[in-house]
Amino acid sequence: MQAWPEGPKIQVSSEGGADPIWSRDGKELFYRNGDKMMVVPVSLAGGFQPGKPRLLWKANTPRHEFLLRDAGATSANYDVTSDGQRFLMVKDLDQDAVSTRIVVVLNFAEELKRLTAAAKSK
């Protein structure tokens, strides 16, 4: 970890890591370490202070196989819900394929209201 744009580097993981994602409240940092999903608590009181990393789960079943694939140096293939309890992860259906498209719906709530109103009027 390094303050932006410049600052001292602070080690967060004890065995390496990749694809970090901040929790919504800024109190935890999630990251991948090979086939493991990790979390480390952080405190910002008196400067950045990382706690001890903790294993969330290890990819030891087919449902976790996405952890074995690197997402890249500048992005992660997952995100964490605001309560930090669930993960949304991108998984390719074909192990040799690369995801080339993600559909993002802006103003989803408004679009849902519009579609609901249109359905009711029929």
Q: Which two tokens stand for residue 86?
A: 């669930």
CA distance 117 to 122: 9
Q: Cβ of 23: how many Cβ atoms within 10 Å?
A: 17
Of 92 and 82, more confident: 82
Q: Residue 62 above 80 pLDDT?
A: no
| Greater model confidence, 5 or 67 | 5
Mean pLDDT of 70-87: 73
What is the overall mean pLDDT for the chain? Answer: 78
Using DSSP, state whether 29 is helix, strand or coil.
Answer: strand
Residues 6+ apart with CB under 8 A from 54: 38, 39, 40
**DSSP label of 68:** G
What's the chain's Rg over C-alpha atoms? 18
Judge whether residue 68 has pLDDT over 60: no
Residue 71 has pLDDT above 70, yes or no: no
